[in-house]
Chain A
């Protein structure tokens, strides 16, 4: 059953990219993101469903170990939301 969760990145003041890592300026705070996060942020220029995100990340990184890809993506989304980098739509 697909999840109704959707995500969209928030605007930032500026960003740098280097070696697969991003540095984002949120107001006057610089935040470094690594791992899944740069791919998630690159993909969420508009609202994306959890299923779409999982598919995009599996294209980038291959299938997630175990059977918890959606859980890993949700965890990453929560962390990004906590840093004000992404907004979540959780009906």
Chain B
């Protein structure tokens, strides 16, 4: 049984390394969930997340190791730690958003749905992602030419009956990786509201309001060169709106206009 799961996350090589008495069980749980991020170039990554299922190492430790007897919790902790490595490896290069993204499977035109944690990103992917390219439910990295570096991580599904999130294999719910290079075609700032009634509504934003809305949901923005100018370049000519809605499915009607409706 392999003790290492090599991944590419936001373009960064990261190895998940398994230790402890239940290594095989852990590997079998992690491998399918991370299959869309698998790296097969035979190299060893400088960035390593060490995962221990069972044994004495518990919690999320400063030395980069994580451990638990609870596989569900371990999966969640590992996702957080791997995402941290992905973001850290791209500081100063990629423009990174807390966002979900899906793309048109033939053109690569992508919807980037920006939102804080726990406010609808994963649900957008589960609801709008089938038949499209799944790019991420957590962190979207944008290159200087506005193409997107996919991060098709396990979906972190919130469940009321679990303490941990349900780290889910994207393929198990019908999601597939992007077959073409994705690029940013539209940006929505998600404003999900349980009190919202009627169809979803898109509120167009001017450039400054769009940037003010995006900025809190960036990672290490100030480490980029001329970050506001970078956001201005990204926003130029793009539809950017705040999406007011209750159910993610009600956003589907806008996707044809925003990224094309073939799926």
CA A30 – CA B221 in complex, angstroms?
11
B226 adjacent to chain A (CB < 8 Å):
yes
Q: Is the CB of B221 within 8 A of A23?
A: no
- With both chains docked as a complex, state the minimum distance between the C-beta of A20 and any C-beta of chain B, in angstroms: 12
CA separation between A14 and B232, bound complex, in Å?
12
| A13 interface residue (CB < 8 Å to B) | yes
When A30-B215, A32-B208 are in contact, do A25 and B232 touch as well, CB less than 8 Å?
Answer: no
Q: Which of A14, A21, A27 contacts B228 (CB 8 A)?
A: A14
Known contacts A25-B221, A25-B222; A16/B212 CB under 8 A: no
Interface size on A, residues (CB 8 A): 13
CA distance A25 to B218 in the complex (A): 13
Q: Residue on B with the closest CB to A34?
A: B208
By size class, the interface of chain B is 10 to 19
Chain A 13-40, CB within 8 Å of chain B: the 1/0 string? Answer: 1111010010101011110100000000
Given contact pairs A25-B222, A28-B221, A14 touches B215 in the complex (Cβ within 8 A): no
A13 touches B227 (CB 8 A): yes
**B window 190-212: CB within 8 A of A:** 207-208, 211-212
Q: 1/0 per position for A36-49, CB-CB distance to B under 8 A?
A: 00000000000000
Q: Mind listing 19 A-B residue pairs with CB under 8 Å?
A: A13-B222, A13-B227, A14-B226, A14-B229, A15-B228, A16-B207, A18-B208, A21-B208, A23-B208, A23-B212, A23-B228, A28-B215, A28-B218, A28-B220, A28-B221, A29-B215, A30-B212, A30-B215, A32-B212
